[in-house]
Amino acid sequence: MLAMDQGVVEEWLSEFKTLPDSAVSTYAASLKDKGALVPALYKVIRENYSDLLEPVCHQLFEFYRSGEPQLQRFTLQFLPELLWSLLSVSAARDPHTSGCIEALLLGIYNLEIVDKDGQSKVLSFTVPSLSKPSVYHEPSTIGSMALTEGALANHGLSRVVYSGPHLQRETFTAQNRFEVLTFLLLCYNAALSYMSSTSLQSLCQLSSRVCICGYPRQQMRRYKGINTRLTVTSEFLVQLITGIHYALCNGEVDLGSKALDDVLYRAQLELFPEALLVGNAIKSSLHSAALKSNNKEGARSIQVEITPTSSRISRNAVTSLSIRGHRWKRHGETVDGEAAVGGVAIPEINVTGVSGDRMPNGDSLRPRPDGRSPTDGDMMGATSEVSMDPRGHDSSIRLEVRRQKSVRRMVENEGSGSASTGRNQY
């Protein structure tokens, strides 16, 4: 560690000790102007054997215990780096160098799980209903929702998920380590909009290192840190993905993309369904969204694809326009006259003098010498049927018209007595 950075840290440690309680808010606002302080503190945390590590951790805990929101956020920005220092030291099985970091993290955890009166907190989350619109969806775009008795009974109900109460922890063990770390990441994600770019970069690096150490991907990433595999939980990875999603949409595209791929890689190896579901959903949404790679300054946000408010009509929906398009053409536009047989209007089509016309079965429409039409015998028992299918083709209409003409010709021949002997025998 450089002497200049060490001097900056020592000056910062001495300032807060002599600071009166009335000037805490003013001091918290002045921390933003100390540009060299934050990089110097990162160097102290990364050096596990630094003499300044213990007083720095104690000072950060005092910031968090003060209750001043700006001082608490100042401490939280170092949380990803503190987590990695703790996990790397635990993997190296050298707990003597991480005692002050463990005390700091446990102190923050024990402060967050209780309210101002010292009672255990119970965190609640209301699961949004798909039947009500939100910034993520419109009910009309999901499809038809059946109005069943069960759906109507649950229409106005909302599901609430509770977390807690959490137990006080005095030390880290193999059983409670990731329970505490997951809760701390939850507190960190609640203040993501206040985190600096350096903190977001540290979160992405933490995610990649935790997920690839000890696996073949570590060689591909060319990371030469510890080679021991770190145990993780599905809930811990979900909290990492939440922070990575925010970093992706706020300037850290390269690091965020690598971190997301590494977390999904580890989730596939561990078969964690929750982490796979959240990670793949975010990855799919990023393919169709333009990431704001230059948005490292200014307002912080998370991009979501908002569905349009106008309702979408299915292509197969029956509307007045679709019915109008399937209506029969007006008879005046297609033929010159009409003929009615059996009460059904039939367009008048002149087939006289047309030779060589064939029916579908190959018979000719030319009259026979005996005066009978080729289809007279077949049409005696036939009933008058006209296809009323609005989507029928013109060819089927012409076929029906010809059949009706044959029936009408047969009736006229019988009435005039011009039927032949063969016709009478038939």
Beta bridge partners of 124: 162
Q: What percent of the chain has pLDDT over 70?
A: 62
Q: Which of 9-23, 215-229, 334-348 has the lowest mean pLDDT?
A: 334-348
Residue 83 has what pLDDT? 95
Q: What is the pTM of this model?
A: 0.65
Residue whose C-alpha is closest to residue 52's, from 41, 66, 37, 61: 41
Average pLDDT over residues 354-380: 48
Average pLDDT over residues 289-312: 51
Average pLDDT over residues 277-288: 85
Cα 157 to Cα 139: distance, rounded to the nearest angstrom? 16
Average pLDDT over residues 312-319: 50
For residue 44, the SS3 value is helix
Residue 378 has what pLDDT? 46
Q: Which of 143-157, 264-278, 310-324 has the lowest mean pLDDT?
A: 310-324
Beta bridge partners of 18: none
Cα 324 to Cα 391: distance, rounded to the nearest angstrom? 12
pLDDT at 261 over 90: yes
Average pLDDT over residues 60-88: 92
Which of 147-156, 194-203, 288-297, 410-419 has the highest mean predicted lDDT (pLDDT)? 194-203
Q: Place 10 in a pLDDT band, splitting at 50, 70 and 90.
A: confident
Residue 88 has what pLDDT? 87
For residue 362, the SS3 value is coil
pLDDT at 364 over 50: no
More confident residue, 400 or 320: 400
Mean confidence (pLDDT) of the chain = 74
Q: Place 245 in a pLDDT band, splitting at 50, 70 and 90.
A: very high
Output Rg (C-alpha) for the chain, integer angstroms. 40
Long-range CB contacts (< 8 A, 24+ apart) of 97-102?
97/48, 97/49, 98/48, 100/53, 100/54, 100/57, 100/58, 101/45, 101/53, 101/57, 102/171, 102/172
Cα 239 to Cα 180: distance, rounded to the nearest angstrom? 12
Cα 400 to Cα 387: distance, rounded to the nearest angstrom? 8
Cα 320 to Cα 313: distance, rounded to the nearest angstrom? 13
Q: Place 416 in a pLDDT band, splitting at 50, 70 and 90.
A: low
Beta bridge partners of 230: none
Residue 163 has what pLDDT? 78
Q: Tokens for 194?
A: 């206040």
pLDDT at 60 over 90: yes
Q: Which of 50-64, 155-169, 325-339 has the lowest mean pLDDT?
A: 325-339
Residue whose C-alpha is closest to residue 139's, from 131, 151, 128: 131
More confident residue, 291 or 208: 208
Report yes or no: 41 and 78 within 8 Å, Cβ to Cβ.
yes
pLDDT in tens, 23-33: 677 777 777 76
More confident residue, 87 or 222: 87
Residue 351 has what pLDDT? 43
pLDDT at 84 over 80: yes
Report yes or no: 213 and 227 within 8 Å, Cβ to Cβ.
yes
Torsion of the alpha carbons at 200, 202, 207 and 212, rounded to the nearest 10: 150
DSSP labels, 364-416 = B-SPPTTS--TTHHHHSS--------TT--HHHHHHHHHHHHHHHHHHHHHHH
pLDDT at 311 over 90: no
Average pLDDT over residues 310-314: 46
Average pLDDT over residues 33-50: 85
Residue 233 has what pLDDT? 94
Q: Tokens for 333?
A: 């536009």
Residues 6+ away with beta carbon under 8 Å from 104: 57, 58, 60, 61, 82
Q: Place 144 in a pLDDT band, splitting at 50, 70 and 90.
A: low
Report yes or no: 201 and 256 within 8 Å, Cβ to Cβ.
no
Residues 6+ away with beta carbon under 8 Å from 181: 83, 86, 105, 236
Q: Tokens for 177?
A: 């380590």
Residue 403 has what pLDDT? 81
Q: Place 96 in a pLDDT band, splitting at 50, 70 and 90.
A: low
Average pLDDT over residues 116-144: 74
* 81, amino acid identity: E
pLDDT at 14 over 60: yes
Report yes or no: 261 and 249 within 8 Å, Cβ to Cβ.
no
pLDDT at 302 over 90: no
Give the number of other Cβ atoms within 10 Å of residue 332's Cβ.
9
